[in-house]
Amino acid sequence: MNKMKTLIVYLILLTFSFSIEEKFTVEIKYSSIEDLQQLVDIGIDLDHYRTSSIVHAFVSDLEFNLIANLNFQIKHIPNQSKIYFNELKNSSNYSRNPMEDYHNYIELTNFLQNIANQNPDITRLESIGQSVQGRELWVMEITDNPGINEVEPEFKYIANMHGDETVGRELSLYLIEWLVQEYGTNPRATNLINNTAIYIMPSMNPDGFELGQRYNANGTDLNRDFPDQFNDPNNSSLGREPETRAVMDWSSDHNFVLSANMHTGALVVNYPFDGPSTGIYSACPDDELFIHISLAYANEHPNMQAGGFSNGITNGAQWYAVYGGMQDWNYVWQNNFEITLEQNEVKWPNSNQLAGLWEDHREPMLTYIEEVHDGIRGIITDSINFAPLNANIDIQGIDKTILSDSENGDYYRLLKPGTYMITASSFGYLSQTEMVIVPDIGYIEQNFQLSIDPWLAEADIEDFDEGSFINFDWYFSGNADWTITNSEAFQGQYSAKSGNINANEESSLKIDLEVLEDSEISFYKKVSCESTGSISGNYYDYLSFLIDGIEVDKWAGEINWSLENFPITTGNHTIEWLFIKDGGVTSGYDSAWIDFVVFPITSTSNPDCGTGDINNDSINNILDVVSLVNCVLSNNCEDICEGDMNQDDILNVLDVVLLVNTILNN
């Protein structure tokens, strides 16, 4: 059997093997970066130790044979972490303290509960889920008003996602203890707690720690289990390990700005991107910023440069490629700037080294938290009623959008010192751009008050908030009708959802329009279904958007609410949203949703209505506003045409806001 056939056979066997099979440590010799990339491509779990010719890895018996058959030199080596773990478990002090100076799960739980009970004003302990074996995934929140979403940045540390990489687990406890003990007397600790929402997760993999192994109890490497932009671009927690799902769901419920995850096995700070190719620098849009914050940590460590990396930092992919890592997921899908901290070259060092490691890492860990207070920040609100807005923040020249917090409208854009053009935008509002100078230390505040876009006053809008399809002449076809749902909505309470269809079926929502002038149609969509083929690129289940029966665009996978705009010409058109299923896989909710459809000017719109000239004096002024307010309050106007600014046949406060905005813009 030739080499290629051997590889194919082994890959098929690996596909059907169980991930729970125990893996052991090996040393592999390689001659080129291409060899190292080949190991990554076939799914070998590379360890942090790598020289120009040797890499350590974790493999099963099947993987060992595969690597040997690919003509790599491979041999077993002792797993020092497992050896030390067994020594601790067999210690004569076992009944008193199973992990000596390390905290096992029970001791860690007691430690965190005691801290929370003794410091209720500045701490809150919560479990964000459970591990495979039912252990709580504890998170300690430390801030001056725990449990309240204040106007302040959110920061998180996560440790011990590899169960046998233990230093970060203990450093997390040292950090928690230092913060609460120093609060009120130490200005630095007090300032951090009063102005930051700090979240610390000492162990993401408590089962792995108790088992003395890298993997969780299902045999999965949690730092290969997240969505990956290069290898698994499906941002869904479905089908992932419970620990991964818990962290993904928890992160999505917050607006984390900066974070780090703690590992051991090397001494270096690792920053995105982690892929796609080993040995090739893979810069993300915020590469300069990541270098800056990585150096902020490394420069405060007394010996980080001794780890064998220039300045103590490395780009992830340049070191070795990782697919499914947590730091890339945070940056790509959560807009959270995360780095990976390799805090000690020995994974599970003797417990008598922990105090010294805390001394080495205390200043870097505190300095890194303080980095969350650099750059630009502010609050984005409606210019009329000052309500907080869901808004996008963009920096000219950096292809990365961050989002404001939906509850308070606050945003935090981390940036190096310098001059920037920053733009705030929100659907239905006019964008606003400002030039901002970021200082050498700290942040600059830039608030935005956005005005409603006046073109909305001329458009027909379907937001489905009547709870039905009665506002427009919608019609259906296919195997199941679209429905109105209150379980998902971009805004308001309702959206339109595709019908409940089976394999090889479809669900269509249509409307016929007579467009009066060249313009555009826009809408928000959400999709949850089988993703496209990772190699073929084929679409299987998907939402399609068609104009006059011609497909304009289509979407598949897990896509959260996002805006689409398409040009449309003058004349008669049929607009269609079509959800299609093939005969294969069921994934996600097998559904699509649309909301806040903004139609072009059509024959259903009366160009003589919505002018705002309530008293017919050919001038829009405060008198018209007063008249319109009286109409809205009395709900007893004979002719609503002039005051119906958005032409939805209803007079309400939105018409008043649109009229005021029209007057101000004139």
Read off the tokens for 282.
Answer: 């893979």
| HSE toward the beta carbon, residue 580, CA cutoff 13 A | 15
Phi/psi zone of residue 483: left (φ > 0), alpha (ψ -120 to 50 degrees), beta? beta
User: CB-side exposure of 243: number of CA atoms within 13 Å?
Assistant: 33
**184-209 in b/e burial notation, b at 16+ Cβ within 10 A?**
eeeeebbebbeebbbbbbbbbbbbbb
Cβ proximity of 200 and 142 under 8 Å: yes
Query: Which amino acid is located at 521 in the chain?
Result: I
**Which residues fall within 8 angstroms of residue 340, CB to CB, at 6 or more apart?**
260, 261, 263, 269, 270, 271, 316, 325, 326, 327
Instruction: Report the alpha-carbon distance of residue 554 to residue 542 in Å, rounded.
Output: 7
Angle at the Cα of 211 (from 206 to 216), degrees rounded to 5? Answer: 55
Helices 61-69 and 3-16 pack at an angle, to 10 degrees, of 170
Please state, in angstroms and rounded to a whole number, the distance separating the CA atoms of residues 164 and 35: 27
The H or E element containing residue 433 is strand 432-438
Report which of 524, 515, 516, 517 is spatially closest to residue 547, judged by C-alpha positions.
Answer: 515
DSSP string for residues in 546-600: EETTEEEEEE-SEEEEEEEEEEE-SEEEEEEEEEE--SS---TTSEEEEEEEEEP
Residues 616 and 621: their CA atoms lie apart, in Å, by 11
Whether 342 is catalytic: yes
Nearest of 130, 127, 148 to residue 138 by alpha carbon: 127
C-alpha–C-alpha distance, residues 221 and 57, integer Å: 12
State phi, psi for 458 to the nearest 5 degrees: -100, -5
Phi and psi torsions of 447, nearest 5°: -90, 155
DSSP state letter for 544: E
- Cα 590 to Cα 638: distance, rounded to the nearest angstrom: 47
Q: Exposed/middle/buried for 16, CB within 10 Å: 0-12, 13-18, 19+?
A: exposed
Structure-token pair, residue 119: 């410091």
SS3 331: helix
Residue 394 β-bridge partners: 423
Q: Which of 372, 361, 326, 363 is nearest to 171 (CA)?
A: 361
What SS3 class is residue 444?
strand
User: Which entry of 152, 342, 370, 462 is annotated as an active-site residue?
Assistant: 342
Task: Supply φ then ψ for residue 608, to 5 degrees.
Answer: -85, -10
Bridge partners, residue 375, by sequence: 443
Active site residues: 342
